[in-house]
Amino acid sequence: MSTNKNINEFELDELLRELSLDENSAIINETEASFVLSQEYPDDIDADKEMDVLNKLLKDTGNSDNSKNWITILLIITLIALLLYSFLRDSGTSKENLKIAHNVINEVNKKKASAQNFIKTTNTTSSIVHVQQNDTFGREKFIRMIAYSDSTKYSDPHPPTTEIEINKGIVPTLLQKDKVLYLKIKEQMLRRIIKSDKGLYTHVPSYKLNYKGKNIILDAFSVRNVCITNLEYKTFLADLIVQKRTSDYLNAQIKTENWLKKDYNSLANLYSQDEKYNDFPVVNVSLKGVELFCGWLQEELKLYIMHHHLKFPDINIRLPYDTEAIFAAREGYAKISFEEGYNTIYDESEGLVDHAFTKRAELSKKRVKRIDTLYSIFATNKYGWKEKDLIEFYSKGNNYYRNIPGDSIFSDRMKVLTKIGRVSELVIEKNSDHVWLSGQSWKSKADYLKLESEFKNNASSPFVGFRVVLINPDDPEYKNPFW
């Protein structure tokens, strides 16, 4: 139907059909649902096709006969492992390993009380702990079983603390449909870069900047408007699995156990896995993982350009420098939350910016507050919140996008949901090893240091994500001629 013409009877029907779909997909209409489901429809179902669908459902939800066979095999292997374990224990050769197992059990037991996904079976001589968690892609589940025997044998009063290691060393299996999905998302991510999609990337021209009290010239760059999202990072992880880059996968994997350490037991199974969080910023990733992501995106971009015979320059992709973050904020290319208290790299006390920056940032904030209804949400620092409050806050996203985020790169939706899930971001201090967790405003520097310490201890945090910058060395503005 063209946009501006009279409609006829047929087109009115089409519009009404479309409207009924739009309305019923946005709200839960119990009355209409019950009406539709209570109707009698002609019984013309093809029995073979019906059986196919039912079998497929059973298979995909892990209820097929095939899966039963696998469970049997798994049980046999477990039994053999237990016998072997018992033999080694009696021979006294694996005492150290047993201690580690014992410590793991203790840690797991502590967490078990509050975590619904931990199930424990105990008898007088041995314990088996089944640790069950959704994998990164939220589709497959795996079970890890750890067994130990009489705990009185290991009565070390000060056992060394052992981390709960749920995902370590395990690479999830990708189903064919996952591979197809993530390949599609990868292509969308690459095309966004090639098309210089303004929804996701902003070009910042070369200019001068007062940094650490000196005037410097900043090369041109393109900055991501929003953090890298869960969906994008999962696409990267899926591609590592497809490329059989196991070691890189293990370095880059999302450390969901960080949630558990803070007793965020629901989010541990939801935030990275559930598709309703697809467009929230990815968190719990290490600096190493982030570097691998940047390298992967850069390499995949090159391959895509080559494969499609495109005329496009080689782009470097990396984390932003503090100079770039400061300039982008000063010139209004990137929004920052700039509140009373402590503002990391944007705080004069750190000596990176001068008072002129502060005045400019205050002006930008006034403008942003006027035009962006989500500013207060964006500026809310959620570090240290209770899980319940955090989930409630995240659920505000559903008020803006009631449909569950689809599996696609859609910048309008990403802009809203990354604001609601706003976290600190990794920023590298230029010519230094210092990594800032920037972008959030803090009540005091002491509060910020808690996050920094947590990030250092775990090499990642549920409150730290990242965005990237794109550098085009062929950009005439990239090198200032007088520099």
Partner 1 sequence: MIDLVKQIKKKDKNAITLLYNTYGKKLYGFAIHKWNLDEDEAWDLVYKTLYKIINVIDNYSFETENKFNGFVYKVFINNLRNQYHANKKNLQLIELNEKHSGISEEEEMKSEESKLSPQMICLKKILNQFEDWKRTLMLMKAQNFSYEEIASYIHKPADQLKVYYMRAKQVLIEKVNECVSKAI
Q: Which positions touch partner 1 (CB under 8 A)?
A: 1, 3-9, 11-13, 15-25, 27-37, 39, 41-42, 44-46, 49-50, 52-54, 56-58, 60-63, 139, 188, 191-192, 195, 197, 199, 270, 274, 403-404, 408-412
Question: CB of residue 381 vs partner 1: minimum separation in angstroms?
Answer: 27
Q: Report the nearest approach of partner 1 to the CB of residue 201 (Å).
A: 13
* Min dist. Cβ of residue 132 to partner 1 (A): 12
Helices (H) and strands (E) in the chain, counts: 18, 12
How far out from the chain centre does Cα 436 lie? 19
Name which of 79 and 404 has its Cβ closer to partner 1.
404
11/163 with CB nearer partner 1: 11
- Residue 131, beta-bridge partner list: 118, 144
Residue placing its CB nearer to partner 1 in the complex, 197 or 447: 197
**DSSP state letter for 229:** B
Q: Which is nearer to partner 1, 11 or 314 (CB)?
A: 11
Is residue 251 within a helix (H) or strand (E), and if so which, with residue range?
A: helix 246-252
Nearest alpha carbon to residue 478 among 313, 236, 365, 343: 313
- How many Å apart are CA 473 and CA 479, to the nearest integer? 8
At closest approach, how far in Å is the CB of 73 from partner 1?
19
CA atoms within 13 A on the CB side of 149: 15
Nearer to partner 1, 27 or 113 (CB): 27
User: Cβ neighbours of residue 253 under 8 Å, at least 6 residues apart?
Assistant: 136, 167, 237, 289
Q: Give min distance, CB of 243 to partner 1, in A.
A: 24
Residue spans of beta strands (DSSP E) within 97-181:
118-122, 127-134, 141-148
State how far the Cα of 172 lies from the Cα of 422, in Å rounded to an integer: 28
| Least distance to partner 1, CB of residue 48, Å | 11
Residue 300 Cβ, how far from partner 1 at the closest point, in Å?
18
Q: Which is nearer to partner 1, 37 or 446 (CB)?
A: 37
Nearer to partner 1, 63 or 93 (CB): 63
Kindly report the number of other CB atoms within 10 A of residue 99's CB atom. Answer: 17
Separation CA 364–CA 357 (nearest Å): 10
